[in-house]
């Protein structure tokens, strides 16, 4: 393992005043760079990994920022002497396998194609801080102010935008460990989707956790695959996506896009988590069936747990928007519900489950707002989302040439919902030797109008729904969510 210490001047006390008028003190314990072990089997010279056409669209997105909260009833001395060295060493071993995470995104001026680059000695920023914030409060499901999570998220370094005579680089992964003495630990990460979809990230963090527990490498059958030939571009989408990216570079300058918007009042924004269990899903399904029977309509084609959850959340969000923003003239406007669909089972050729990179498609369901707010709104929502899922099942790249322009429409509209994460990725099984996470949060959804979906920690088959909204709108959403479930047959 190669750990590079940085300036000791960072060991200063930082303070943050929360929206609850509480003072949370942060002490920087350590900041260093973690790289692969010396004399490791990773490439010795500069290694270039080209982006595929499925990676390029993620250049338009902000970094993902997951937080993993673990109970840790031990003092700081125990953490720094035992737990911290193990976390750093196991991360170093993991980067030996997933070396692009230690590298950078290299962006050249048009017509250069962006790529991932790694050189022996490249590293990941690793920060350790101690906090006196309330661990139980931060790791709860109830409403909590978003400002109190900002200090838990690491930053990613960048050299700026490519110019006419030079390339630009941006780091791909950064880690911050926040210790709440005698209470818990938060492992916070920032990574760019361009290097990994949720499946790849899950493989990465599960490998890190496994090495932290056992200190031996995975079997050869689950080692990462970097075979870019596994991703076939039958519709020549790469050129289309690159032109869109070059256009954005010339107009905005940044290498990576920013899907976040200025929040109305950051100090009033709260996050909360809602649980959708199997009983509630069944009630929603029965509600849809009864409405269809009553109206002599066919059932939606796809009523999976995912569709039922998304449809109900979509309706509840729209009702809360109506109440909070007092919309009066948007009834006939289309509303969009965007989500990501896994590609491993939808492509016409095999892709290894251990493939490192992106293998996902984009779905955008649309429905008229007035119909979503009507008595049969839940049926309209379930039908729109289910039909989109079925289209992706049949032709995942249908309409893919418009993916980027569709995203642009969605992110510029107040009338859209986007899903981040997937309940099929079992992140709650990520055990670093600390047990299962007490809570997982996705700070990356802040300011994006997106919802975060993960599998439930404690309820088999359940789905956790994470949202960030202005507090008054969150109150309205909570009311509609609870009343809607109680009103179902």
- The set of catalytic residues is 193, 431
* Sign of the C-alpha dihedral computed for residues 373, 376, 382 and 385 taken in this order: negative
Q: How far apart are CA 83 and CA 66, in angstroms?
A: 20
Half-sphere exposure of 479 (CA within 13 A, CB side): 12
Residue pair 198/422 in contact (Cβ under 8 Å)? The answer is: yes
Residue pair 90/34 in contact (Cβ under 8 Å)? The answer is: no
Distance of CA 429 to the CA centre of its chain: 17
Residue 354 in tokens: 């251990």
Q: What angle do CA 69, 74, 80 make, to 5 degrees?
A: 85
Q: What are the backbone dihedrals phi and psi of residue 294, each rounded to the nearest 5 degrees, phi first?
A: -65, -40
Backbone φ/ψ region at 172: left (φ over 0), alpha (ψ -120 to 50), beta: alpha
> How many Cβ atoms from other residues are within 10 Å of residue 211's Cβ?
23
Q: How far apart are CA 107 and CA 257, in angstroms?
A: 13
Residue pair 177/129 in contact (Cβ under 8 Å)? The answer is: yes
> How many Cβ atoms from other residues are within 10 Å of residue 290's Cβ?
13
Query: SS3 for 432?
Result: coil
Residue pair 112/167 in contact (Cβ under 8 Å)? The answer is: yes
Residue 440 in tokens: 């997982």
Q: What angle do CA 19, 157, 446 make, to 5 degrees?
A: 35
Contacts of 329 (CB under 8 A, 6+ apart): none
- Helix or strand (DSSP H, E) at 16: strand 13-17
User: 92: exposed, middle or buried (C-beta count within 10 Å: 0-12, 13-18, 19+)?
Assistant: buried
Q: How far apart are CA 465 and CA 338, in angstroms?
A: 15
Residue pair 415/334 in contact (Cβ under 8 Å)? The answer is: yes
Backbone φ/ψ region at 399: left (φ over 0), alpha (ψ -120 to 50), beta: left
Q: How far apart are CA 122 and CA 40, in angstroms?
A: 12
Sequence-ordered strand ranges (E) for 132-219? 144-145, 168-171, 173-180, 184-191
């Amino acid at each position: 393992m190669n750990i590079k210490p940085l300036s000791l001047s960072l060991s200063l006390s930082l303070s943050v005043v929360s929206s609850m008028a509480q003072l949370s003190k942060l002490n920087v314990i350590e900041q260093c760079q973690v790289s692969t072990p010396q004399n490791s089997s990773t490439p010795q010279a500069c290694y270039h990994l080209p982006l595929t056409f499925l990676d390029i669209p993620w250049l338009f997105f902000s970094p993902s920022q997951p937080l993993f909260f673990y109970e840790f009833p031990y003092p700081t001395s125990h953490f720094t002497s035992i737990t911290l060295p193990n976390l750093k060493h196991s991360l170093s071993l993991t980067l030996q396998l997933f070396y692009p995470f230690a590298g950078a995104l290299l962006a050249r001026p048009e017509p250069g194609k962006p790529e991932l680059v790694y050189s022996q000695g490249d590293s990941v920023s690793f920060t350790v801080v101690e906090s006196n914030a309330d661990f139980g409060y931060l790791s709860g499901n109830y409403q909590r102010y978003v400002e109190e999570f900002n200090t838990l998220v690491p930053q990613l370094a960048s050299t700026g935008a490519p110019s006419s005579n030079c390339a630009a680089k941006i780091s791909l992964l950064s880690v911050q460990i926040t210790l709440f003495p005698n209470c818990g630990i938060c492992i916070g990460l920032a990574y760019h989707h361009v290097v990994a979809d949720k499946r790849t990230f899950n493989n990465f963090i599960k490998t890190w956790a496994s090495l932290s527990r056992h200190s031996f490498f995975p079997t050869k059958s689950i080692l990462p695959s970097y075979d870019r030939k596994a991703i076939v571009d039958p519709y020549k989408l790469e050129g289309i996506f690159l032109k869109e990216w070059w256009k954005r570079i010339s107009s905005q300058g940044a290498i990576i896009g920013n899907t976040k918007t200025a929040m109305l009042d950051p100090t009033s924004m709260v996050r909360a988590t809602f649980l959708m269990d199997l009983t509630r899903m069944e009630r929603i399904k029965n509600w849809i069936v009864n409405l269809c029977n009553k109206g002599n309509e066919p059932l939606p084609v796809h009523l999976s747990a995912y569709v039922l959850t998304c449809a109900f959340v979509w309706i509840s969000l729209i009702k809360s928007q109506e109440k909070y923003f007092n919309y009066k003239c948007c009834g006939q406007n289309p509303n969009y519900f965007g989500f990501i669909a896994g590609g491993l089972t939808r492509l016409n050729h095999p892709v290894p489950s251990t493939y490192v990179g992106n293998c996902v498609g984009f779905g955008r369901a649309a429905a008229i707002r007035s119909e979503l707010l009507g008595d049969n709104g839940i049926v309209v929502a379930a039908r729109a989302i289910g039909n989109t899922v079925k289209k992706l099942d049949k032709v995942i790249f249908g309409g893919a040439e418009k993916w980027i322009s569709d995203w642009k429409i969605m992110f510029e509209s107040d009338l859209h919902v986007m899903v981040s994460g997937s309940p099929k990725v079992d992140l709650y099984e990520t055990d670093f030797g600390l047990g299962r996470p007490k809570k997982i949060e996705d700070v990356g959804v802040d300011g994006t109008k997106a919802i975060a979906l993960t599998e439930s920690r404690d309820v088999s088959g359940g789905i956790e729904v994470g949202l960030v909204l202005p507090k008054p709108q969150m109150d309205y959403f909570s009311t509609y969510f609870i009343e809607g479930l109680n009103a179902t047959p």
